[in-house]
Amino acid sequence: MSDRRPVSTESAEFCTPCLVLDLHAIRERYEEFGHALPGADLFYAVKANPDPRLVAFLVGLGARFDVASRPELELCLAAGAQPADISYGSTVKKERDIAFAHRSGVRRFAVDSAAELAKIARCAPGAEVFARVSCVGTGSCFPLEGKFGCAPAAPAAAASLLVDAAAAGLGAAGVSFHVGSQQLDPGAWRAGIADAAEVFRRVRARGLRPYLLDLGGGFPAHYDAHVRPLADYGDAIRDAVAAEFGDDRPDLMIEPGRGLVADAGTLYSEVVLVSDRDGAAGPRWVYLDVGRFGGLAETEGVLVRYPIRTARDGGPRSPVVLAGPTCDSADVLYRRRPYLLPDDLCAGDVVRLLHTGAYTASYSSVGFNGFAPLRCVCTGDPADGSGMSVRAANVAV
Amino acid sequence: MSDRRPVSTESAEFCTPCLVLDLHAIRERYEEFGHALPGADLFYAVKANPDPRLVAFLVGLGARFDVASRPELELCLAAGAQPADISYGSTVKKERDIAFAHRSGVRRFAVDSAAELAKIARCAPGAEVFARVSCVGTGSCFPLEGKFGCAPAAPAAAASLLVDAAAAGLGAAGVSFHVGSQQLDPGAWRAGIADAAEVFRRVRARGLRPYLLDLGGGFPAHYDAHVRPLADYGDAIRDAVAAEFGDDRPDLMIEPGRGLVADAGTLYSEVVLVSDRDGAAGPRWVYLDVGRFGGLAETEGVLVRYPIRTARDGGPRSPVVLAGPTCDSADVLYRRRPYLLPDDLCAGDVVRLLHTGAYTASYSSVGFNGFAPLRCVCTGDPADGSGMSVRAANVAV
C-alpha cells in the first residue's frame, strides 16, 4: 500500500478521519481468489464495505453479491449488478423485503428455519433456497455459531427444510455454512463440507437434485504476519470437497467480505491529543479523531489489531494507550496491549491504520458525540484515473 | 408512557424501527431536576440524544448544553441556544474546533491535561476552563474513570492546571468530575465533591477565585424498579457540598443526558422472525428489526435491560433469546438472561422497548448490513400539537 499512497497527508485540505480504499489492490485480491478456488463463484459480502463505487467496481470485475437486506440489494442493482447474480444470504428477512427482492428478479434465498421457509414460499414463489447449517467457529476471531444455521442435528434439520422447500414449490438448491469471520485455520471448512455432503445424501434419497455448496466467508485479512496465503485455503477446501463429494461435485460459491477488501483499506486519522494522564510512570495516551464509534469497533477485545504507521517512524518509540475522540469510556482502542509509537508523536500528526477496508466505515455510528460517520474514498481504478481525484474529494469537509 | 402512546402501531403505514420521544415527559423530568437541585444550572449532555427538535425544545425550557464536538455545538446554536449557555465539556478537542467554538462565543472549556490547556490558551484567549478530576465510578453501570480526568494525585494536578490556566490568561473557573453513567448510588458524588473542595483550597491559596463545581452526569434512568428517586440524589449532593464547602458554596452545574431523556423514549420494533432454532428444548429466538448496531448497543453485557411490551401481553409467556436483524453474531441482545415474552408472539408483531430515549439513536450505525439508522420522532410538545403529527411523519419510509 505505502508505495501507492494516493493522498498527500501534508496537504492542508486533507480531511481526517478518512478511509482510502485501493481498488487496484482489490482487483489483485479478486484474481487471487480466482486462482485459489477456480470455478467457485465469488459473491462479495456487501456488509463488509458497502461503498457504492466499490460495488460498481466489483460489478465490472464480474463479481456477484451476497446481500443482507433490501437496501444492500438496491445498492447492488443501482451499481449495475444483475438480479440473478445476487444472493439474499440473511436468514432473517421481512416478508415485504423478500417480496421486493423477488419482484426485482432475485431468485436465491437463505433459510435456517421453517418459519423463514414459509415466508419465502409465500412471497417468492418459484425461487430457490439454500439451507444454512450451523458450524462451530473454532479458529475464527468472530465465530457465527449460535445465531445462525439449523441446529441441533444440523444435517437432518437442513435436509428436512430442503424437502419441505421442494414440497412448497421452491427449488432446493443446496447448503451453506459459515466458519466464522477472520478464520485462521484453512482446515476449518472441512466439518461444514462434511455436514453439507450428508445433507446432499439425505435430500437426494428423497429424489431431489441439490447442486449448490455455499462455503460462506471467513477468509482472513492480513492484520498480522501469521495469516496464511489464500492458496492454502483453496487447497484445503478443494481437498475436503473431493473427499466428501467424490465425483459428484457441487457448484461452489464463496462469500468473502473482509478477505476481499480489508487489506486494501488505509484509515487516515489525526492525533488530537497526547497526554501523560497516567503520570510519568504510565504510558502516554494518544487520542485519535477516530475511535470505537467512528469505525474501529473491531478493536474491542483486541481481536483485530491494525498495524499503524506514522511519518515519524524510525526513531525511538514507547508504549501508548490509543483512544478515540468521544466522551465515552468505552472508546479506548487498545489498552491491554499498548502500541509502541514514536516518542515525538504529537497533536496534529496524521497516522495511518492499515488493513482497515472491511467492517470499519460500515460499523461507524451515525454521529455519536456529533462526529460524522467515517468517509470512504476509492482510488486506484485505472478506468477513470481516480488516483488523481482523491485530493479533490478531500477538499470538501 | 403507555397512557400517552401517540402512535397507532396497528396502522399499516407505521414504519419500524422508530424511537418516539415524549417531550412532555422530558419537561416533567426537567422540572424534577429543578426541584431536586434548586439553583444548579442544567447543561443537557447532547450526546445522549442529539435530536434537533429535542434540543430546540430544551432551549425553550431554559436548559443549557454540554457539547462534545463542533457538530454538537453547531446543532445547539442552530436550535437557538446562546453561546454563553454552552459548555465544551470534552477534554479532547482539535485546535481548530476550539477556535471555532471561541469565534462562536463559547467561553467555557474542559481540560484534564497540560497539552489541552496549551491548545485552549492558543485558540481561545480569555476563555475560562474547568479542570476535570478523575473519579472512581463505583456503583455506576458505565464507569468513566481511566479515560478522563487528571490522575494520579487528582486534586494537586487539577489545581496545578488551574494555576497554569490563570498564568496563561484564562479564567480558572473550577472543577468537574463524573461519577459514571447510570450511577445507582446517590452517595457516589461525595468523593468527587471532596476532591473538588481540595482543589478549590489549593487554588485559592494561590490567590485565584474559582466559583464553579460541575457535578457531571450519571443520574440514572428507570430501567428497573430499583432506581431511587432524583430527590435522593439532590439531597446527597447538597449535603456533601455543604459538608465540604461550608458557607463558601460554589455555583453548581449538572450535565444529565440519560437521566433527562432516557425514560421519555419508546422504541417501536417489528418482530422479523420467531424460530425454534435451538430445538424444542431451547428458548425460542425472536429476531427484531433493530439490534446492537441499530441503536441497542447498550444491551451489551446486559447492563441495560429495557422493559419490553407487546400487544399480546397477559397470556402465557416463555423464555426467548432476543436478536437483531444483521448477519453479525454479536447482534444478540440478551442471551444470558432470556426475556419472558408471549408464547403467541409472531413475525409482524410490534414490540415496544421502554426507557430508550438515551444512547440509542445516537449509537446507531450509519447503515450496518444496509439497515438505516434509527429514526427519532418527537411528540408531546403542546406548543405545536406534535402528538397529532407522528402518524404523518411515519408514513414516509
Q: B62-84 pLDDT, tens per residue? A: 999 999 999 999 999 999 999 99
Same domain, A238 and A372: no
Among A256, A276, A294, the domain boundary falls at A256
Q: What is the pLDDT of residues B208-256, one digit of tens each?
A: 999 999 999 999 999 987 899 999 999 999 999 999 999 999 999 999 9
Same domain, A280 and A336: yes
For the cut 80, the answer to whether the pLDDT of residue B277 exceeds it is no
Same domain, A204 and A319: no
Same domain, B327 and B227: no
Same domain, A251 and A287: no
Q: What is the 3-state secondary structure (H, E, C) of chain A?
A: CHHHCCCCCCCCCCCCCEEEEEHHHHHHHHHHHHHHCCCCEEEEEHHHCCCHHHHHHHHHHCCEEEECCHHHHHHHHHCCCCHHHEEECCCCCCHHHHHHHHHHCCCEEEECCHHHHHHHHHHCCCCEEEEEECCCCCCEEECCCCCCCECCCHHHHHHHHHHHHHHCCCEEEEEECCCCEEECCHHHHHHHHHHHHHHHHHHHCCCCCCCEEECCCCCCCCCCCCCCCHHHHHHHHHHHHHHHHCCCCCEEEECCCHHHHHHHEEEEEEEEEEECCCCCCCCEEEEECCCCCCCCHHHHHHCCCCCEEECCCCCCEEEEEEECCCCCCCCEEEEEEEEEEECCCCCCCEEEEECCCCCCHHHCECCHHHCCCCEEEEECCCCCCHHHCHHHHHHCC
Count how many domains chain A has: 2
Same domain, B135 and B238: yes
B286's enclosing H/E stretch is strand B284-288
What mean pLDDT do residues A60-79 have? 98
For the cut 60, the answer to whether the pLDDT of residue B40 exceeds it is yes
- Residue-wise burial string across B176-193, b where 16 or more C-beta atoms lie within 10 A, e elsewhere: bbbbbbbbbbbbbbbbbb
Least confident of A277-281, A310-314, A359-363, B362-366: A277-281
Determine the residue of chain B that is closest to A367 in CA distance. B362
Residues 2-41 of B with CB under 8 A from A: none
Q: What is the pLDDT of residues B325-372, one digit of tens each?
A: 999 988 999 877 889 999 999 999 999 999 999 999 999 999 999 999
Same domain, B192 and B289: no
Which residues, listed in sequence order, are joined to residue A212 by a DSSP beta bridge? A174, A251
Taking one residue from A and the other from B, the number of pairs with CB-CB distance under 8 angstroms is 193
Flag if A365 and B365 touch (Cβ within 8 Å): yes
Q: How confident is the model at residue A4 (pLDDT cuts 50, 70, 90)?
A: very low
Place of cell 421453517: A114
What is the predicted pLDDT for the residue at A389?
Answer: 40
Residues 49-108 of A with CB under 8 A from B: 50, 67-73, 75, 89-95
For the cut 50, the answer to whether the pLDDT of residue A68 exceeds it is yes
What is the predicted pLDDT for the residue at A337?
Answer: 81
Same domain, B241 and B287: no
Same domain, B89 and B107: yes
Among A241, A256, A271, the domain boundary falls at A256
Q: What is the pLDDT of residues A346-369, one digit of tens each?
A: 999 999 999 999 999 999 999 999
Determine the residue of chain B that is closest to A369 in CA distance. B47
Q: Give the rounded distance of the alpha carbon of A294 from its chain centre.
A: 17
Least confident of A17-26, A329-338, B16-25, B90-99: A329-338
Q: What is the pLDDT of residues A33-63, one digit of tens each?
A: 999 999 999 999 999 999 999 999 999 999 9
CATH number of the domain encompassing residue A235: 3.20.20.10
Q: What is the mean pLDDT of chain A?
A: 90
Determine the residue of chain A that is closest to B216 in CA distance. A327
Locate B369 and state its grid cell: 448490513
What is the predicted pLDDT for the residue at B329?
Answer: 87
Report if residue A98 sits inside a domain: yes
What is the predicted pLDDT for the residue at A391?
Answer: 41
Among A216, A234, A256, the domain boundary falls at A256
Residues of B in contact with A180 (CB under 8 A): 329
* SS3 state of residue B173: strand
- Residue B10, Cβ neighbours under 10 Å: how many? 8
What is the predicted pLDDT for the residue at B383?
Answer: 64
Cβ(A241)–Cβ(A235) under 8 Å?
Answer: no
What is the predicted pLDDT for the residue at B154?
Answer: 81
Q: What is the pLDDT of residues B293-323, one digit of tens each?
A: 999 999 887 678 999 999 999 999 999 999 9
Least confident of A24-38, A275-289, A349-363: A275-289
Same domain, B225 and B272: no
What is the predicted pLDDT for the residue at A382?
Answer: 65
Q: How confident is the model at residue B8 (pLDDT cuts 50, 70, 90)?
A: low
Top pLDDT among A241 and A283 is at A241
CATH number of the domain encompassing residue B312: 2.40.37.10
Residues 268-287 of B with CB under 8 A from A: 270, 272-279, 287
What is the predicted pLDDT for the residue at A145?
Answer: 61
**Which alpha helices (DSSP H) does B7-69 contain, by range?**
23-36, 52-61
Report if residue B317 sits inside a domain: yes
Pairing of strands B108-111, B128-132: parallel
Percent of chain A with pLDDT over 70: 91
Least confident of A199-203, A206-210, B335-339: B335-339
CA–CA distance, A98 with B173 (Å, rounded to integer): 59
What is the predicted pLDDT for the residue at B141?
Answer: 77
What is the predicted pLDDT for the residue at B212?
Answer: 98
Top pLDDT among B154 and B179 is at B179
Top pLDDT among B299 and A280 is at B299
Cβ(A360)–Cβ(A296) under 8 Å?
Answer: yes
Q: Collect all residues with Cβ–Cβ distance below 8 Å to A32 and sequence separation of at least 6.
A: A230
What is the predicted pLDDT for the residue at B394?
Answer: 34
Same domain, B211 and B341: no
Least confident of A130-134, A200-204, B230-234, B392-396: B392-396
Least confident of A22-36, A138-152, B25-39: A138-152
pTM greater than the 0.90 cutoff: yes
Report if residue A327 sits inside a domain: yes
Q: How confident is the model at residue A376 (pLDDT cuts 50, 70, 90)?
A: very high
What mean pLDDT do residues A195-212 have? 97
Same domain, B320 and B214: no
Q: How confident is the model at residue B152 (pLDDT cuts 50, 70, 90)?
A: low
Chain A contact present for B303, CB below 8 A: no
Q: Give the rounded distance of the alpha carbon of B225 from its chain centre.
A: 19
Top pLDDT among A237 and A277 is at A237
Q: Which domain holds residue B277?
A: 2-18+263-395
What mean pLDDT do residues B18-44 have? 97
Q: What is the mean pLDDT of chain B?
A: 90
